[in-house]
Structure 1
Amino acid sequence: MAKTAAALHILVKHKEQAEDILAQLKKGAKFQTLAKKFSTCPTGKKGGDLGEFRRGQMVPQFDKAVFSAEILTPVLVKTKFGWHVIKVLYRT
């Protein structure tokens, strides 16, 4: 079972906006560009880069998504902070 992961994320308030961002990614838009433009999280300035973190370090819904989603395939998840578009870079 993976103990750490690295991921990018874009945080927005509304599901519709998260779905729109996901659609743009599927059409080839760059994750980092969309993160800088739309993310309300301070990591948006860094292209949404969360770096490497341990299992259990993030809120439960986010943690579950990161440690179960396909690598490099963006997914949506809702947390108390809003809607996240998450792209897992790797797990160790």
Structure 2
Amino acid sequence: MAYTAAALHILVKHKELAEDIIKQLKKGAKFDVLAKKHSTCPSGKKGGHLGEFRKGQMVPAFDKVCFSGELLTPHLVKTKFGWHVVKVLYRT
């Protein structure tokens, strides 16, 4: 079982924008460029990098994707903060 994960994310207010970002990523857009342009999270300035974190550190829906979602695939997650496009880099 994984204890830590590392992920990138882009936080936006509207589902439509999050879905559009995922479409752009699937067409080859760079995650860090889109994060700097769209993310309302301070991590956006760092290309969406959240670094490594422990299981249970993030809000439940976000945590679930980070510890069970497919790696390196953009996922759409809704939390109290808004809509996240999450890309899990690795788990340890």
Measured in 1, the distance between the counterparts of 2:13 and 2:22 equals 14
Q: State the TM-score, normalized to the length of structure 1.
A: 0.99
Measured in 2, the distance between the counterparts of 1:74 and 1:91 equals 15
Which residue identity lines up with residue 86 of structure 1 in the other structure?
Answer: V
Question: Which residue matches 2:90?
Answer: 90
Measured in 2, the distance between the counterparts of 1:49 and 1:34 equals 12
Question: Which residue matches 2:61?
Answer: 61
The superposition leaves residues 14-69 of structure 1 with CA deviations (integer Å, 9 ceiling, x where unpaired) of 00000000000000000000000000000000000000000000000100011111
Which residue identity lines up with residue 44 of structure 2 in the other structure?
Answer: G
Q: Which runs of 4+ in 1 moved over 2 A?
A: none
Question: Which residue matches 1:5?
Answer: 5
Q: State the TM-score, normalized to the length of structure 2.
A: 0.99
Structure 1 residue 3 displacement after superposition: 0.4
Aligned residues: 92
Question: Which residue matches 1:45?
Answer: 45
Counting only pairs closer than 5 Å after superposition, residues 66-85 of structure 1 correspond to structure 2 as 66-85=66-85
Question: Which residue matches 2:32?
Answer: 32
User: Percent identity of the aligned residues?
Assistant: 82
> What RMSD, in angstroms, separates the aligned Cα atoms of the two structures?
0.3
Measured in 1, the distance between the counterparts of 2:13 and 2:65 equals 18
